Structure 1
Amino acid sequence: MLQDRLTPQGLLYRDLKHFVNEDGNYLFCRYWEPSTPPRALVMIVHGTGEHSGSYVNVATMLVNQSLFVFSHDHVGHGQSEGQRLNVSNFRIYVRDCLQHIDMMKYRYPDLKIFLLAHSMGGLVAIYAMHDRPDDIAGAIFIAPLVALNPESARPWKVFCTKLLCHIIPNMSLGVMNPQWLSRDENEVRNFYEDPLCYHGAMKVGFAAVLLNALTGLENLLPSITAPVLILHGDADKMCDIKGSHIMYEMVTSTDKTLKVFEDCLHQLHKELPDVVKEVFSLIQTWLNDRLPALNI
């Protein structure tokens, strides 16, 4: 019964925005609605181990541009149900995002839908754009997961991960270093102190799911014809910037932009203040150039 379903944090779902996915999991949602009529919808697709609430600063910036922002915590993340960072198939994330998009399309049939995706969320967005090319008007990618960092991508490590996932899928591969997220120590501290973020070890089984999703990605990228803006820091130690260059070359969109930020780490939207200011300005300009004029 709905009245009995609790989030992993012990809150009642009946008191929270949520939807139920095809597997019966309750997924926590966030909605940021502008005070003026929205010009478009923007779905934020978050990355591994974080949650929709990690993007309040991004959502606030977008709402101030008269955009309706929506997001949800992926299954196994944040306030959604599911085992933490444990999913049988990567396409579950994609399927759930498309379900949420369909919900918003039904409510706002006349508004375009854009995606803003970070890290693993970028990989989810690529699959979503491949599956629903007519439903997504464009996408902004921040450090998308297209290629693993060189250390994780060593052939023997990839081989061992795929082998061990069938034998000991719960084997730990170690904990992410939060210092790799941003050069802003306040943001690193916020990650440490956020109880909704996952601070445990990544398991072999989950790593194998990501590896399988990356396999054959070169066959999906050419299907993307919608406008794309790709932003990536050249000091990113989590998602190799080579992936963004590959993505830029392989998508067939005639409206594509790649911006590289020197010396920046993984979370450009939580980097040093001057970087965040530039990132937000680029996003605003990119969206405004593709939408009706903002009424001030």
Structure 2
Amino acid sequence: MSDDALSTDFHLPGHGGALVGRAWPHPDPQWVAVIAHGYGEHVGRYGWVAGRLHEAGAAVFAADHVGHGRSDGTRVLIRDYEDVVEDLHLVVRHAAGVHPDLPIILIGHSMGGLIAARYTQRHADALVATVLSGPVIGSWATVDDLLALEEIPSTPIDPETLSRDPAVGEAYAADPLVWHGDFARPTLEAMQTMMRTITAGGSVGNHPMLHLHGEADQLVPMPASVEGVETLRGPATSRITYPGARHEIFNETNRAEVLEDVVTFVQGVLDQRR
């Protein structure tokens, strides 16, 4: 199921041009998963995740954010994350249109966690639960440090920070759809603004939310992210952390454990709704 040949493309009119999405259909879905990917990457890197969610009964939908992957836009340029949240809403509405009677779970990784957190604050009524994986939330020293400089230096992401599995970093480095260049200052400014907006937005209340994080994440260190998630916390918020795991926990050496935790969380939420 993780094979790209088993997925289909869809296109949506995003705020910055066409959004190119990918759907992993299910013959008898019990729920819908919508994935928001991280900075500089694309949804094609989530075939394994989609496959595991598919095994658990999900139809899966995801789209490359503006300026990422196969979607339109200047590469990695995001001037306002509220616009990207609305793009994500298009994806959620598209998924809901295909499966109008199924519950939707939003899964956001890294920058996608930032987007998913804000989406949940604004559109929780469209979801039954949210999963945040290594989210850029609360504060991120990388953003603060780079914005303090007159000129932003070369800032490619070190593939070794992604996973203890060297094949993950090698594939990332060789992927032509991954952005291997520098941060754009407007993107950093918009990211900083959105982190502050989320903090000001406060708790998601009774909305079920799961925060997952690698304890050895050097790219988005866990302590600041934990502080950010605490501003969102409600009675149904929970957290699982993984000793030794780096940033991309869905691609880590214990990836099966991580996805099992996601599935267990989702099944618990769905069981409570029955």
Q: Which residue of 2 aligns with 1:20?
A: 13
Q: Post-superposition shift, 1:150?
A: 4.0
Q: Post-superposition shift, 1:88?
A: 2.0
Q: Aligned pair 1:285/2:256, yes or no?
A: no
Q: Post-superposition shift, 1:16?
A: 4.8
Q: Post-superposition shift, 1:247?
A: 4.0
Q: Post-superposition shift, 1:17?
A: 2.2
Unaligned runs of 5+ in 2: 1-7
Q: Aligned pair 1:130/2:121, yes or no?
A: yes
User: Could you state the TM-score of these two structures normalised by the residue count of structure 1?
Assistant: 0.83
Contact 1:147 1:239 in 2 (8 A): no
Contact 1:138 1:228 in 2 (8 A): yes
Q: Which residue of 2 aligns with 1:268?
A: 249
Q: 2: CA distance between counterparts of 1:244 and 1:205? A: 22
Q: Aligned pair 1:220/2:220, yes or no?
A: no
Q: Which residue of 2 aligns with 1:38?
A: 29
Alignment CA distance shift 1:83-1:150 (3 Å): closer
Q: Which residue of 2 aligns with 1:116?
A: 107
Q: 1: CA distance between counterparts of 2:181 and 2:10? A: 26
Q: Which residue of 2 aligns with 1:61?
A: 52
Alignment CA distance shift 1:248-1:202 (3 Å): closer
Q: Which residue of 2 aligns with 1:202?
A: 183
Residue 155 of structure 2 aligns to a residue whose secondary structure is strand
Q: Post-superposition shift, 1:284?
A: 1.4
User: Partner letter of residue 228 of structure 1?
Assistant: M
Alignment CA distance shift 1:65-1:223 (3 Å): closer
Unaligned runs of 5+ in 1: 1-14
How many aligned positions are there?
265
Residue 76 of structure 1 aligns to a residue whose secondary structure is coil
Q: 1: CA distance between counterparts of 2:125 and 2:29? A: 20
Q: Aligned pair 1:181/2:162, yes or no?
A: yes
1:142-161 maps to which residues of 2 (within 5 A)?
A: 142-150=133-141, 152-154=143-145, 157-158=146-147, 160=148
Q: What RMSD over aligned residues (CA atoms) do the two structures have, in Å? A: 2.1
User: Could you state the TM-score of these two structures normalised by the residue count of structure 2?
Assistant: 0.89
User: Partner letter of residue 264 of structure 2?
Assistant: T
Q: 1: CA distance between counterparts of 2:194 and 2:179? A: 21
Q: 1: CA distance between counterparts of 2:187 and 2:12? A: 24
User: Partner letter of residue 20 of structure 1?
Assistant: P
Q: Post-superposition shift, 1:152?
A: 4.8
